[in-house]
A and B are shown apart, each in its own frame.
Chain A
Amino acid sequence: MTRSIRKLTLLALLAWMLALGLTACGSSNSSVSGGSGIIVAKGIQTPRTEAQSGGKRGGTLTVLNHTDFEHIDPGQAYYNIDYEVIYATQRPLFSYKPNTFSSPSPDMASEPAQVSSDGKTITVHIRKGVHFSPPVNREVTSADVAYAIERGANPNVPTPYFMSYFSSLQGASKATGGPFPGITTPNRETIVFHLTEPKAPIVLAALVLPLSAPVPEEFAKPYDAKKPTEYGNYQVATGPYMFKSDSAGKVLGIGYQPGKSATLVRNSNWNPATDARPAYLNQIDINIGGDPTVIGRQVLEGSDMVQNEAPAQPIVKLAYEKFRSQMEISPGAGDHYIAVDNKQGPFSNISVRKAFWAALDRIAMNKARGGELVTNVMTHFIYPEIPGFEQAGGLQGPRVDYNDYPEGNAAVAAKYMKLAGYPSGSYTGGKTLQIVGSTGSPSAEDAEIVNQTLKNLGFQTKFTLVDSSVMYSKYCGTPAEAIDVCPSVAWGADFGDPQAVLDIPFNGKNIIPSGNNNWGLVNDPEINQAMDAAELVVGTSARASAWAQIDRKLVAQAAAIPFDWDKQPSIESKDVAGVGDLWNTGSWDYSYTSLK
């Protein structure tokens, strides 16, 4: 090589190293990713979720989101990011104020619901003076709420959680989008739900979901007849804001351009006297796409902007170090735990499950997720902000030896292995464990820790990582596959009731042959019975106690191995007075946020 070529090669190499360094710092494609950024929190922010009174009226908030919405039709929306726009434009019967995830307030309802003594009838009175946005314009009646819920059974919609929460309505299982006996409207202002069983508490709790936001039948029916429904692209609003639309009410291409942008403007027919929401902002411009590290910086360094999803890991670090006042961290954003096969294989033995729990280093698992800033060590199954959390043990959790050591304890693990019938403290059976985790940071790192922990316990493992949706749909969600360990499954409650946290993942009767969410195939008759009974308990604190007991039972059974209670960071520009929704992973609430 001639001298000059060598020099140039060196230069190129240097540039490469620089590139690698910058890439490690600067790029990330997933939202809270782990890896190199270990953050040790000094003083965790309390989220500002109190509704700010006296906020400045007016202005346009710009939202930068890397992720697009899944659905903007209130009958289909089911993800946190959808709720950001849904709850600014639609008014369900009940909804949460920003600072709570346990006590809903009447929203479209004028007062709390009345439940009959036998628990089979729920009566709700509708607020007067609430009008649909243009072009429908007329006042909302109970029939609109009825239609909204009925369309949940329409296969052209359909609402994913309809059967989970509304199956106890009379005739619901046969409904296909038309009226059914379970919902009646004696007059314009009253809607009555008739149940086949006394499951009023869960039905009532589910009325905070967007399904109960009124939908005008005469306007929506033609769209609901399409396969799939197109109502979302033409929707009308009852909330303080609406998707920008043309005179015919078309939203697609105007107020929502999939993958590109969404625009919320004031609903001209919204009457502030009927609504507790202050609605300071005049307009919300949502920009979709872009590199997460770039948009994070744009928000932090810019003005009148927020990012309304979990920021990239390096951005969280940057915000914590340089823009601390512009970041809020909200607890109760969900959890992550390890599902183990309770039905067959080595983990059908309770002592093996306890040994695994004792052996796992939950601190390490959470470090991979970003450390103390964005996680809490999970010690039982109801998570913070959900009623029952304290009763089930609070942050520390039930004091049993296998739960007492967040960093893992080999001695305790060995004790339980011996109890399980392995005198050496190590597994000596012949079965190779099937472990299926998901790719991407930090799930892959967590899966590796799990794999190693099990190996240390003496297991042979067959360890695979696949795409997250594949992991759920093909492997962990299909009981026939008999996967032994699913290293990081996640759960978030649909509403602030402990049943929403525990029932589907841990009730034996919820095991279904495909799309199963009881990943551990947990089927303990005593626990099942307790759950069925707790389902019928009325009253927030009574339910909290009942379900907290079940939580303790699940811990006693080591039904699954917990490790992470999520806390979600949210970032804003310096001149935004953001208000976050505790019940929606701390996402900024457009109806309460204002500009400084």
Chain B
Amino acid sequence: MTRYIIRRILWGILLLILVTALMFVLFRILPTGEPARLRAGRNASPRVIAALRRDLGLNKSLPAQFWIYMKEVIFHFNLGYSYYSSAPVRGLIAERLGATLSLMLGAAIIWLSIGLPVGIISALRRRSWLDRASMGTALLFVSAPEYWLGLIALYLFAADIGKVKIFPGAGSYVGLTSDPWKWFTSLLLPWLVLAAGSAAIYARLMRSNLTEVMQEDYIRTARAKGLSERRVVLRHGVRAAINPILTILALDIATLLGGAILVEVVFNIPGIGQLAYTAITHSDFPIVQGTVLLGALFIVVANIVVDIAYAYLDPQVRYS
């Protein structure tokens, strides 16, 4: 087992290096604004641009630049410097992690507490009006673009511009430590918007998984043992149905930790997603590189965690 974990970790590191290298190459090759020129601004003299190129290390060969970058990342956790924001990338990312984390955790709790029960009930009462209504609603939310949903939510429910003034409007996010109540209320609408699509997906997933599982022989055995129907459904049915859902959950969380760009922008939440979005629009490569690397890291870690967890979730996997 340990050998297996170590192998997965090594693969993960290799993958991260590859991702960074790919980004490096892309940013240098694609016809984007040259970093030195962007930094120098309008009307800069060629002398200034040349000096900047030297300072940014752009006159070194591509592999040399890559090597320097990787060394800084691995040994010093130094993700570079954003000339655009005049701040180190690491600091910018670190101060935004909290918001993204808040957004992701709350949304995950909501979509799990709504999606899974809805899926279970739908599976048990297939073809009932309840099932059709919830699956139809789920289809709507899965199809609805997040950004649109966010805008609609604001135009309907925001305290400043909405028709029914319930929730705080966009831009009202504050950190948990500065004002817990305001932190909570400002996140309610973003949580719901972010959770809507996922709750729908998880509901449909649970429904189909559970429907399949309930046809299995071991469910029949459980009933024949005289167990209560609730125990049969939850401990025998859902327990088996939930394995694939947990792996998807891990990946979803990892992806969101890289920043829920659309929701963060529309609600103006200062998370990693908004940081990445602004960096992209300004061609601020060090930040883009940093956020992509971070996102890749989360996903790699999540994959490894899932692989390890699956060995505990499904004993049949353990010895293969």
Contact = CB atoms under 8 A, between A and B. Distances in A.
A301 B144 contact: no
Question: What is the interface of chain B mostly: helix, strand, loop, or mixed?
Answer: helix
B177 to A, nearest CB: 15
B221 interface: no
A16 B143 contact: yes
Given A297-B161, A302-B160, A474 B171 contact: no
B122 to A, nearest CB: 14
Interface in A40-66: 64
Interface in B85-141: 85-87, 91-92, 95, 132, 136, 139-140
Given A26-B155, A298-B160, A473-B34, A515 B49 contact: yes
B154 interface: yes
A232 interface: yes
A259 B275 contact: yes
Contact of B37 (A73, A295, A515): A515
A293 B267 CA distance: 11
A512 B50 CA distance: 14
A164 B37 CA distance: 16
Interface in B258-276: 265-268, 270, 274-275
Nearest to A475: B31
Contacts of A160: 40-44, 48
A252 B170 CA distance: 24
A139 interface: no
A8 B31 contact: no
A44 B92 CA distance: 43
Contacts of B270: 257, 259-260, 289
Interface in A288-329: 289-291, 293-295, 297-298, 301-302
A298 B161 contact: yes
A78 B39 CA distance: 12
Contacts of A70: 41, 84
Q: Which of B42, B139, B160 is the most central at the interface, judged by chain A CB atoms within 10 Å of its CB?
A: B42
Given A289-B270, A294-B170, A228 B83 contact: yes
Interface in B147-185: 147-148, 150-152, 154-155, 160-161, 169-171
A35 interface: no
B86 A71 contact: yes
A521 to B, nearest CB: 17
Question: What is the interface of chain A mostly: helix, strand, loop, or mixed?
Answer: mixed
Contacts of A230: 86
Contact of B86 (A73, A287, A466, A517): A73
Interface string B35-68: 0011111111111110110010000000000000
A162 B86 contact: no
A170 interface: no
Contacts of A258: 82, 84-87, 92
Contacts of B39: 228
A23 interface: yes
Size bracket, chain B contacts: 35 or more
B20 interface: no
B78 interface: no
Contacts of A161: 42-43
Contacts of A163: 43, 45, 47-48
A264 B38 CA distance: 27
B32 interface: yes
Interface string A498-532: 00000010000000101101000000000000000
Contacts of A73: 86
Contacts of B37: 473, 514-515
B243 interface: no
Nearest to B88: A252
Contacts of A228: 39, 55, 81, 83, 86
Contact of B148 (A19, A252, A287, A295): A19
7 contacts: A22-B151, A78-B43, A155-B52, A160-B42, A230-B86, A258-B92, A291-B268
Interface of A: 4, 8, 11-12, 15-16, 19, 22-23, 26-27, 64, 68, 70-71, 73, 76, 78, 155, 158, 160-164, 227-228, 230, 232-233, 252-253, 257-260, 287, 289-291, 293-295, 297-298, 301-302, 466-467, 469-470, 472-474, 504, 512, 514-515, 517
Interface of B: 31-34, 37-49, 51-52, 55, 81-87, 91-92, 95, 132, 136, 139-140, 143-145, 147-148, 150-152, 154-155, 160-161, 169-171, 265-268, 270, 274-275, 278, 282-283
Given A158-B44, A259-B85, 16 more contacts: A8-B139, A11-B136, A22-B151, A71-B86, A155-B55, A158-B48, A163-B45, A163-B48, A164-B43, A228-B81, A253-B95, A287-B171, A287-B268, A289-B278, A290-B170, A504-B43
